[in-house]
């Protein structure tokens, strides 16, 4: 795996397979375990101008894609999602989504998406486990094990993939939001103006109280998405 970043400052990000200009039509997917910061990245993309779902929630999940992903096994969700993706391709030159229920499905998704651009976010597994304990009373050891397992799946994919992708650290994003937002903007290939950039920078912060409270009220230990 070759890191193409030439910035000596550790931004907590790296980008691969982006040597050429981005195509005018492309699809972004945010990958990460539940409560690792996927909503933050999806929210940044939305503020930069990427359509992240007409029915997106406080978690920046496209509810149409979410329902299909959680209702069917893999062969069926591919069948059900394909026409949804095709419709979105007709409606938007650039669009995207994040659904942690599909976190381990990068290989399959890459085959049915138009010009996929993948973003993987990594967060300290202890922090993820504590969030799961607070919001859904989920076992800490089990949560840490699941996070480490999924992170390894992400690393394996990153190591062999040829599609454009970005990996970033949640902790670094919170420490230096301007740097990370500008890196995401550069990766997105969008001509985002200063107002959009500033709005996205302001959005990057630790989970707001209303987000955590919504998780406590609506989530269960068997529902890991956030």
Number of helices and strands in the chain (H, E): 10, 5
Does position 151 have pLDDT exceeding 80, yes or no?
yes
A 10 A CB-CB count for 155 gives 14
**What does the mean pLDDT of the chain come to?**
85
Q: Which long-range contacts link 149-154 to residues 24+ away (Cβ below 8 Å)? A: 150/33, 150/103, 150/104, 151/33, 151/122, 151/125, 153/103, 153/104, 154/31, 154/103, 154/106, 154/120, 154/122
State the greatest distance between any 2 C-alpha atoms of the chain, in Å, as a whole number: 46
Judge whether 26 and 94 are in contact, CB under 8 Å: yes
The whole-model pTM stands at 0.84
Judge whether 218 and 137 are in contact, CB under 8 Å: no
Name 185's Cβ contacts closer than 8 Å, sequence gap at least 6. Answer: 48, 192, 197, 200
Of 3.40.50.2020, 3.40.190.10, 3.40.50.300, 3.40.220.10, the CATH number of 13-218 is: 3.40.50.300
Does position 73 have pLDDT exceeding 90, yes or no?
no
Q: What are the φ and ψ backbone dihedral angles of 4, each rounded to 5 degrees?
A: -90, 5
For 166-202, the pLDDT digits (tens) are 999 999 999 999 999 999 999 999 988 899 999 999 9
For 76-133, the pLDDT digits (tens) are 889 999 999 999 999 999 999 998 889 899 999 999 999 999 999 999 888 887 876 7
Report the distance separating Cα 207 and Cα 36, nearest Å: 10
pLDDT of residue 132: 67
Least confident of 23-37, 56-70, 93-107: 56-70
């Amino acid at each position: 795996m070759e890191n193409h970043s030439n910035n000596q400052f550790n931004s907590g990000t790296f980008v691969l397979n982006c040597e050429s200009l981005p195509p005018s039509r492309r699809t972004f997917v945010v990958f990460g375990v539940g409560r690792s910061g996927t909503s933050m990245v999806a929210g940044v993309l939305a503020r930069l101008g990427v359509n992240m779902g007409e029915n997106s929630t406080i978690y920046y999940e496209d509810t149409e894609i979410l329902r299909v992903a959680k209702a069917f096994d893999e062969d069926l969700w591919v069948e059900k999602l394909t026409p949804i993706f095709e419709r979105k391709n007709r409606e938007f030159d650039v669009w995207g989504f994040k659904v942690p229920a599909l976190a381990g499905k990068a290989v399959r998704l890459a085959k049915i998406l138009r010009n996929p651009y993948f973003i993987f976010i990594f967060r300290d597994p202890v922090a993820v486990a504590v969030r799961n304990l607070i919001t859904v009373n989920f076992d800490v050891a089990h949560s840490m094990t699941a996070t480490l397992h999924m992170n390894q799946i992400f690393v394996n994919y990153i190591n062999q993939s040829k599609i454009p992708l970005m990996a970033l650290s949640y902790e670094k994003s919170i420490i230096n939001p301007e740097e990370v937002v500008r890196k995401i903007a550069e990766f997105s290939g969008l001509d985002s103006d200063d107002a959009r950039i500033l709005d996205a920078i302001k959005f990057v912060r630790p989970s707001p109280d209303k987000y955590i409270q919504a998780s406590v009220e609506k989530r269960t230990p068997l529902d890991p998405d956030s």
